[in-house]
C-alpha cells in the first residue's frame, strides 16, 4: 500500500518522469489536493526544503518535481532519498510514456525537448533521458504510463491517488478500454478479452460510431454473451475489491480489450465502471485509449 496512507508523518510526493509525460499536470493536481509544491528543486536541497516547510507551517503535504533539468544533481538522488525516507512518508511517482506519444506531444506544443541539440535528434534525446532517469524510475513506488492519458485524465488520476481517503477510496481503480491490434496497455493487473462479443464494426450503421454512443451500447448489450460476461466479470470484482481493500492494495488497473478498441471494450468498461460506483462506492478512472 502507498506509504502516504501508512504513517502519520509529513507526506512527501516526488513526481518525476520523462519530458512531455505530464509532470506539470501532475504537480498542479497535487496543489489542488492541498500539497505545497515546488518544481525543478535541486536534489541536494530537498531535505532542507522539506524540513523548513514542515517545521515552520502546518503544511504536512509536500510535492516536489524532479526531472532531467537536475542532471547535475541526479547522482545524489539515492542518498537524499534515503535521508528523506527516514523522516517522512515518501512516495515517488514516475511518469512514463511511449516514444511515439512523447514525440507527438512535443510536435503539438512546439516545445523543445531539453536535451535536443544540433547533435542530438529528439528520438535520441528521449533514449538518453530514459537512461539518465533510470535510477529514479527504479526507486519509484508507482510508474504510470501516460501515453493514452489526456491532461484531464492524468489530473484526475493523480488527484485520486493522493486525495484524503475514506475507507473505500483507499484503492484507486483504473479501467482502460483498448484495441489488441494496437498492443496491450502497460501495468495492467487484470486483463479481460471481449473479442468474442459480436462486433458492431460489421454493422454499417454502427461502424463509424463509438462505444460511448447509445446505439452501439444498445447493440452490444443485446448480445447474450455480453450480458453473461458482464455478470461474471462484475461478480469477480465484487469478490476481489473487498479482498484487495483488506490486503491493502492501493491500485488496481483493469484492461478490457477488443480488436480495435472503439466499440465493444468501451461499452464493457462503461458498464463495469457504473457497477463499481454503485456497488462499491468507488469512482474509477476511465480511459478509452483507442476509441478516437
Round to whole Å and give the CA distance between 289 and 251.
19
- What is the tens place of the pLDDT at every residue in 2-29? 444 444 678 899 999 999 999 999 999 9
Looking at the chain, the whole-number percentage of residues with pLDDT higher than 70 is 93
Angular region, 248: left φ>0, alpha ψ -120 to 50, beta rest? left
Tell me whether strands 61-66 and 89-96 are parallel, antiparallel or unpaired: unpaired
Highest mean pLDDT among 26-35, 180-189, 204-213: 204-213
Q: What is the pLDDT of residue 5?
A: 43
Question: Do the beta carbons of residue 171 and residue 223 sit within 8 Å?
Answer: no
**pTM of the predicted model, to two decimals?**
0.68
Give CATH 3.40.50.300 domain extents, the chain: 3-164
Reported as a pLDDT band with limits 50, 70 and 90, residue 258 is very high
- Cell numbers 471494450 correspond to 265
The CATH homologous superfamily for domain 3-164 is: P-loop containing nucleotide triphosphate hydrolases (3.40.50.300)
Q: How many CB atoms lie within 10 A of CB 290?
A: 23
Round to whole Å and give the CA distance between 36 and 59.
7
Reported as a pLDDT band with limits 50, 70 and 90, residue 165 is very low
Amino acid at each position: 500500500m502507498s506509504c502516504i496512507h501508512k504513517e502519520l508523518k509529513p507526506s512527501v510526493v516526488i513526481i518525476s518522469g520523462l519530458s512531455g509525460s505530464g509532470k506539470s499536470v501532475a504537480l498542479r493536481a497535487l496543489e489542488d489536493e492541498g500539497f505545497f509544491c515546488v518544481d525543478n528543486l535541486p536534489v541536494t536541497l530537498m531535505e532542507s526544503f522539506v524540513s523548513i516547510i514542515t517545521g515552520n507551517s502546518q503544511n504536512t503535504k509536500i510535492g516536489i518535481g524532479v526531472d532531467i533539468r537536475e542532471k547535475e544533481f541526479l547522482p545524489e538522488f539515492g542518498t537524499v532519498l534515503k535521508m528523506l525516507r527516514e523522516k517522512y512518508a515518501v512516495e515517488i511517482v514516475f511518469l512514463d510514456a511511449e516514444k511515439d506519444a512523447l514525440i507527438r506531444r512535443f510536435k503539438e506544443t512546439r516545445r523543445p525537448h531539453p536535451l535536443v541539440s544540433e547533435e542530438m535528434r529528439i528520438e535520441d534525446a528521449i533514449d538518453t533521458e530514459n537512461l539518465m532517469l533510470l535510477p529514479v524510475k527504479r526507486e519509484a513506488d508507482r510508474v504510470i504510463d501516460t501515453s493514452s492519458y489526456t491532461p484531464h485524465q492524468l489530473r484526475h488520476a493523480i488527484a485520486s491517488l493522493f486525495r484524503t481517503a475514506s475507507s473505500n477510496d483507499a484503492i484507486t481503480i483504473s479501467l482502460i478500454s483498448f484495441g489488441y491490434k494496437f498492443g496491450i496497455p502497460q501495468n495492467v493487473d487484470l486483463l479481460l478479452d471481449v473479442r468474442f462479443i459480436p462486433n458492431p464494426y460489421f454493422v454499417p450503421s454502427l461502424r463509424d460510431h463509438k462505444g460511448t454512443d447509445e446505439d452501439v451500447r444498445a447493440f452490444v448489450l443485446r448480445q447474450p454473451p455480453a450480458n453473461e460476461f458482464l455478470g461474471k466479470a462484475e461478480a469477480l470484482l465484487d469478490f476481489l475489491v473487498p479482498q484487495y481493500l483488506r490486503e491493502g492494495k492501493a491500485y488496481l488497473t483493469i484492461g478490457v480489450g477488443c480488436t480495435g478498441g472503439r466499440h465493444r471494450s468501451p461499452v464493457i468498461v462503461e458498464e463495469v465502471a457504473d457497477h463499481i460506483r454503485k456497488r462499491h462506492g468507488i469512482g474509477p478512472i476511465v480511459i478509452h485509449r483507442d476509441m478516437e
